[in-house]
Amino acid sequence: MKPTLLAFSLAAALAAVSAHAAEPTAQTVDTSSPSAKDDTAADAAGGATRNKPANKVQQLGAIDVTAALDQARNALSPDTGSSQYVIDQKAIQAMPLGESTPLNQVILQAPGVVQDSYGGLHVRGDHANLQYRINGVIIPESISGFGQTLDARTIKNVKLLDGALPAQYGLRTAAVVDITTKSGHDLGNGGSVGITGGSFGTLNPNASVWGSSGAWSGFFTANYLENDVGIENPTSSRKPIHDHTNQVKAFGDISYLIDNETRLSFLFGASNNRFQVPNNPNQTPKFGYLDTVDFDSAKLNEQQREKTRFGVLALQGKLGSTDYQVSLGQRYTSVNFQPDLIGDLMFNGVASNVTRTNRASTLQADFATPIGDSNTLRYGVYGSFEHASSGNNAWVFPVDANGNQASTTPLNIIDNNRLTAKTWSAYVQDEWSIGEKWTVNYGVRGDKYTLARTESQLSPRLGVVYQATDSTTVHAGYSRYFTPPATEMVTTSNIAKFDGTTNAVSNPGNAIPLSERSDYFDAGIAQNVTPALTFGLDTYYRKVTRLQDEGQFGAALVYSTFNYARGHIGGVEFTANYDEGPISAYFNFAYNRSMGKKVITSQYNFAVDDLAYVADNYIHLDHDQKYTSSGGISYAIDSATKVGANYIFGTGLRRDGAVPNGNSMPDYFQLNLSLSHDFNFDSVGTLHTQLAVINALDRTYELRDGTGIGVGAPQFGPRRGLYLSLQKDF
């Protein structure tokens, strides 16, 4: 890079806006130890929305009733003893790509979140295991892949809850991504249209409309995206080969006020994403096909398509003094990988047309009842009924007794299976305010999961918050966790069908993954140094049996679940937030160590030597990253112009060394810059423009090198890209 460009980039980073708006309210802020008694301090530190009981309303107009119902819904979900990080709408708009930012990149700006290939995220050393909630309703996660189902344009604010969670939260326990959506009641009547375009053939038009009329309100948004970098490049070249993507996403939320204390809502979403799988040129075929002995790997034509749709009908209101929300939902998701028949056979010895589908029907009910002036009893149930199918239409070559290719004529093997899984959960917990300084949340939840076997657990939870001073809050918690495998990632392949072929395995092992069980300890402190400056420090430790992990096994870019017999995960997070006048800034730094020992399920996916070593030794999990950091600063030049920057840093995921996952990938650093300005025209009003430079220093870095347990092809981070967004509200 030229010295002048480097100097300009660094100067811009020091003077510029990050993922936080310059307004003194509604910023991203780490609250570390949430309780209702922290509200004043949190608002002073950054204006983050906190859980509060419903305010009494004097005028029962539609907007007043809606605000009271929103507050009552928030009060159904406590976070006492856990750690919470809030990113709101203004913070997302101020990110370099604004509301065109993919949801995973929004969450990457929270502490302890590590990026992976295919848009994957790891929170506090876990692989996936995220629970997504929209307006308090659980939305089962879609099948793993690299499409983003949810759109940042739907978000009013998103909270990342992790640590020792209260009894209300279970099943997916690495973190809860709790999204509150925009509302037609809040926004009034109007809409927005815009487009983002730029490097790598990026074109991303979007349109939204919202409004209310009497008891009705609605919010709808949709966007289309295409570019030539749909999946991470397997080489360090600037432009990947065969990497085009087309993606369509839509979301809607319709609400009807039945009366002043009852609301019926229907929210729905859909995504349809197509990807070309990028090619790695200059690879040498391992197998012959008929009379063909050579194949140009740059001309492979693998494709993947992902679909997701969901709908939820929710009734929320009050019965006497009890707040409640009851919902019925369904989510359908599918993935289809289409191989290059000849090319995959010649390079891998197998060409598999892989299809996975999952349909989940859910019931959720949450209740909160005040008991006297000091206690709130919360209780509820959750049920999920899932139908999952896995299809594998595979072509392979026969082999001889020594495992060598015996014929260049392929064989076709069909391996399909179906699964039905049932999940039932119930919880009860009491939030007890002891004087003005102490809040205790204690409870228990029970979970039961049935697939090939039935597993269950009673899980006690305890969270404590101590308001040491007006500016100092301490929290601690313990949670027993029960985590079933993600049903849509479980396959029960008949591996015996592939004996004597190039897709044979050496160790059948146990076919069905097990539910994970763990003990989680968390403690932290939040300090408001001034109304504008907040620090947070949090530490955690998790002791695990049947530790779940996921890996990409085979050419299809989908994950499968397996278990280690034992594991332990621990770390420390530090956060800082500043917001005063035109300047705001945030900084996150985290240390993590994730270890596992002895693979006890899905052993057929692993090399014999790896299994033997892991049987007697702890190894780093493939997604373990020792140090992680994110941050940004912001400056509003005036009310119409802002400049900004944010960054992510990591010491690298794992790769093989002398032992499995024995080394780490090199450090990486990605700096993103932005400049925004609002133009006012007499004829059309205000036009918002935003210029973004992603990876402004054009630092080439590798996320994966293709080695490590459960790791597929190499993947590199994005190269420098320039993007312009235009947005017009009406």
- Strand 113-115 relative to strand 137-139: parallel, antiparallel, unpaired? unpaired
Which stretch of 55-69, 353-367, 384-398 has the lowest confidence by average pLDDT? 55-69
CB 604 within 8 A of CB 568: no
CB atoms closer than 10 angstroms to residue 56: 6
Tell me the pLDDT band of 490, cut-offs 50, 70 and 90.
Answer: low
User: Residue 497, SS3?
Assistant: helix
Which stretch of 60-69, 405-414, 573-582, 630-639 has the lowest confidence by average pLDDT? 60-69
Q: Using alpha carbons only, what angle is made at residue 242 by residues 239 and 246, rounded to the nearest 5 degrees?
A: 100
pLDDT at position 3: 40
CB 160 within 8 A of CB 123: yes
Q: Calculate mean pLDDT across residues 428-432.
A: 95
pLDDT at position 144: 61
| Nearest by Cα to 553 from 510, 506, 605, 502 | 605
CB 97 within 8 A of CB 196: yes
Residues forming beta bridges with residue 306, ordered by sequence position: 273, 335
pLDDT at position 41: 36
pLDDT at position 489: 65
**Distance linking the first and last C-alpha atoms of the chain:** 42
| Nearest by Cα to 251 from 268, 271, 273 | 268
Which stretch of 191-195, 270-274, 400-404, 689-693 has the lowest confidence by average pLDDT? 400-404
CB 589 within 8 A of CB 573: yes
Tell me the pLDDT band of 18, cut-offs 50, 70 and 90.
Answer: very low
- Strand 137-139 relative to strand 375-396: parallel, antiparallel, unpaired? unpaired
pLDDT single digits (tens) 341-371 = 999 999 999 999 999 999 999 999 999 999 9
pLDDT at position 58: 34
CB 420 within 8 A of CB 386: yes
Tokens 């159904």 label which residue?
76
Which carries the bigger pLDDT value, residue 599 or residue 66? Answer: 599
Which carries the bigger pLDDT value, residue 321 or residue 19? Answer: 321
User: Residue 131, SS3?
Assistant: strand
d(CA 180, CA 164): 22
pLDDT at position 555: 65
**Rounded to two decimals, what is the model's pTM?**
0.87
Q: Calculate mean pLDDT across residues 47-54.
A: 31
Q: Is the dihedral of CA 148, 149, 152, 156 positive or negative?
A: negative
With a cut of 50, say whether residue 238 has pLDDT above it.
yes
pLDDT at position 581: 87
- Strand 668-681 relative to strand 663-664: parallel, antiparallel, unpaired? unpaired
pLDDT at position 554: 67
pLDDT single digits (tens) 543-553 = 999 999 988 77
With a cut of 60, say whether residue 59 has pLDDT above it.
no
CB 110 within 8 A of CB 87: yes
pLDDT at position 556: 67
| Nearest by Cα to 592 from 6, 113, 115 | 113
| Nearest by Cα to 374 from 465, 436, 448 | 436
pLDDT at position 118: 83
Tell me the pLDDT band of 147, cut-offs 50, 70 and 90.
Answer: low
pLDDT at position 276: 95
CB 620 within 8 A of CB 654: yes
Helices then strands, counting H and E runs in the chain, come out as 8, 35
- Determine what percent of the chain is predicted with pLDDT higher than 90: 69
CB 135 within 8 A of CB 66: no
Assigned token pair, 226? 């295409």
Residues forming beta bridges with residue 380, ordered by sequence position: 366, 427
pLDDT at position 81: 65
CB 383 within 8 A of CB 361: no
Name the residue range of residue 501's domain.
Answer: 3-729
Query: Nearest 5°: phi and psi at 287?
Result: -135, 155
Tokens 């509604």 label which residue?
26
Assigned token pair, 412? 């076709």
**Looking at residue 172, which CATH number applies to its domain?**
2.40.170.20
362-380 as b/e, with b when 16 or more CB fall inside 10 Å?
A: bebbbbbeeeeeeebbbbb
With a cut of 50, say whether residue 56 has pLDDT above it.
no
Residues forming beta bridges with residue 589, ordered by sequence position: 574, 629
With a cut of 60, say whether residue 42 has pLDDT above it.
no
Tokens 């049932």 label which residue?
422
Residue count of the chain: 730
CB atoms closer than 10 angstroms to residue 189: 12
Mean pLDDT taken over the chain: 86
d(CA 602, CA 564): 10
pLDDT at position 14: 33
With a cut of 80, say whether residue 493 has pLDDT above it.
no
d(CA 509, CA 703): 30
Q: Calculate mean pLDDT across residues 701-713.
A: 88
Q: Where are the beta strands (DSSP E) in 260-341?
A: 262-276, 303-319, 322-338
pLDDT single digits (tens) 309-343 = 999 999 999 999 999 999 999 999 999 999 999 99
Count of the separate structural domains present in the chain = 1
Q: Is the dihedral of CA 77, 79, 85, 91 positive or negative?
A: positive
With a cut of 60, say whether residue 62 has pLDDT above it.
no
CB 351 within 8 A of CB 339: yes
Assigned token pair, 617? 């030794």
Tell me the pLDDT band of 584, cut-offs 50, 70 and 90.
Answer: confident
Q: Work out the burial of residue 176: count CB atoms within 10 Å of its CB; fewer than 13 is exposed, 13-18 middle, 19 or more buried.
A: buried
- Helix %, strand %, coil % for the chain, to 5? 15, 55, 35
pLDDT at position 194: 96
pLDDT at position 145: 54
DSSP code at position 658 = S
- Strand 619-620 relative to strand 438-450: parallel, antiparallel, unpaired? unpaired
pLDDT single digits (tens) 100-129 = 999 999 999 999 999 988 888 999 999 888
Tell me the pLDDT band of 403, cut-offs 50, 70 and 90.
Answer: confident
Q: For residue 392, how many C-alpha atoms fall within 13 Å in the half-sphere facing its CB?
A: 23
Q: Calculate mean pLDDT across residues 641-651.
A: 95
pLDDT at position 45: 35
| Nearest by Cα to 15 from 579, 585, 534, 581 | 585
CB atoms closer than 10 angstroms to residue 436: 8
CB 426 within 8 A of CB 445: yes
With a cut of 70, say whether residue 177 has pLDDT above it.
yes
d(CA 22, CA 638): 10
